[in-house]
Structure 1
Amino acid sequence: MPLYEHVMIARQDLSNAQAEGLIEHFSTVLADNGGKVVEHEYWGVKTMAYKINKNRKGHYAFLKSDAPAAAVQEMERLMRLHDDVMRVLTIKVDAHAEGPSVQMQKRDERERGDRGDRGDRGDRPEGDRGERRERSFGGDRRR
């Protein structure tokens, strides 16, 4: 069967339990039509780039499925009819990536407080920015 990845955005005024209930509901829709959800992730409430249906935030969910095309079409149809679901994106993939999604990896790094990307700053005293070069403004303006 083909492999798919789905991202769903639900309304912000739902509780976390209700948003995860939507994931379970649509997983059963796939199962009833001959498919299965291999893995799912609840990404939490995130701010969107623009308003959708007067909402600035939404509950994001990510599903990896192994289902026939008819099952995916039925799930998408029901998602678009559901009042709590604002957007759906489905992509057909050749293989599912192992481990957590990139979004969950970012969350893990934030929770750990890892600041390894700042480089070695131990060789400079506090507040020292190093040598500054003289600026050139295209001509001598000190006349």
Structure 2
Amino acid sequence: MRLYESVFIARQDISTGQVDALCEEFTGIITEGGGKIHKQEYWGLKTLAYRIKKNRKGHYILFNIEADAATMAEYDRKLGLNEDVIRVLTVSIDEVDEDPSIMMQAKSDRPSRDDNTAAPEAAAEPKE
């Protein structure tokens, strides 16, 4: 079985209870197909960069999934048929990161963009 990371955006006008029901539906599809959900995160109602199907906001949900290709095909098919889902991105990954994603961390806990640890070789060179 392969590992996948899937993020989908649900419509802005559904409640968080309906989002939970949507997550349960998709979790059921994965588990019925013999797959496993390693991590599930609800990122909240966020403003979209541009309108998608007349929506300016959307509920963001992340799944880390371990499943075979047939189960993922059924999962993608059901996501595409569901009217509450407005956008989906599913990618194959090498390993599951058990830590909370960057979106779930508080802004003060996130790594800084100005941090020199991102380019250690540039920081090690002396300036003339």
Indicate the SS of the match to 1:97.
coil
Q: How big is the shift at 1:36?
A: 1.3
For 1:36 and 1:72, locate their aligned partners in 2 and report how far apart those are by CA, in whole Å.
11
Segments ≥4 residues shifted beyond 2 Å: none
Structure with greater proportional strand content: 2
TM-score with structure 2 setting the length: 0.82
Contiguous gaps of at least 5 residues in structure 1: 118-143
TM alignment of 1:76-87, pairs within 5 A: 76-87=76-87
Mapped to 2, the partners of 1:59 and 1:22 lie a distance apart of: 11
The root-mean-square deviation of aligned C-alpha atoms, in Å, is: 1.3
Match of 1:42 in 2: 42
Q: Aligned partners of 2:33 and 2:97: how far apart in 1? A: 24
TM-score norm. by structure 1 comes to 0.73
- Once the two structures are TM-superposed, the CA of residue 23 in structure 1 deviates from its matched residue by 1.0
Q: Secondary structure at 1:109's aligned position in 2? A: coil
How many corresponding residue pairs? 110
Q: CA deviation at 1:69?
A: 1.1
Q: Deviations over 1:68-103 (max 9, x none)?
A: 011011001001000100111001000011210111
- Counterpart for residue 63 of structure 2: 63
Aligned equivalent of 1:109: 107
1:12 alignment partner in structure 2: 12
Query: Percent of aligned pairs with the same residue?
Result: 48
